[in-house]
Amino acid sequence: MPDHPLPVDPDQPISPSTASVLTVIAVGGAIGALARAGVAEALPHPRDGFDVATLVTNVVGSLLLGMLMVYVVEHERGHPLLRPFVGVGVLGGFTTFSTYTVHTRGLLGHDLPLALVEIVAGVVLCLVAVAAGVALMRRWGPR
């Protein structure tokens, strides 16, 4: 272990303790996972159908992550624990690349066109959402 803690967020001058960082990530992750479960309950899909819930969570999470990064990095706003809490915890627990890949892999065996749609839609829409989040925060975010 180094004599001094490594910075949690290189964009923030204050470095909180490791315990506080792990705590906010865990609490944020629980919140995000519960929110994702709520979306999955609200938007169920058949096992062999298009997974709208996962697409929605990943796109919304990407949008919010783009906004968060501009807020924290470019506007230099927020508490030093904001990025670990929201970015790693809440949005890390909310978005789910693993569910996306497992479901798509399952589709590959019996519905190749739908699997390809899910792959392309997930990647493209999430990239567009990040760019939109960045653009929105740059245009209407705090100055």
- In the chain, what is the straight-line distance between the N-terminal and C-terminal CA atoms, in Å? 39
pLDDT in tens, 56-72: 999 999 999 999 999 99
The conformation of residue 55, written as its DSSP 8-state character, comes to H
Annotated binding residue 92? yes
Q: pTM for the full model?
A: 0.84
Cα–Cα distance for residue pair 25/88, rounded to 1 Å: 6
List the single range of 7-16, 23-32, 35-44, 58-67 with lowest mean pLDDT.
7-16
Q: Are 81 and 8 in contact (CB under 8 A)?
A: yes
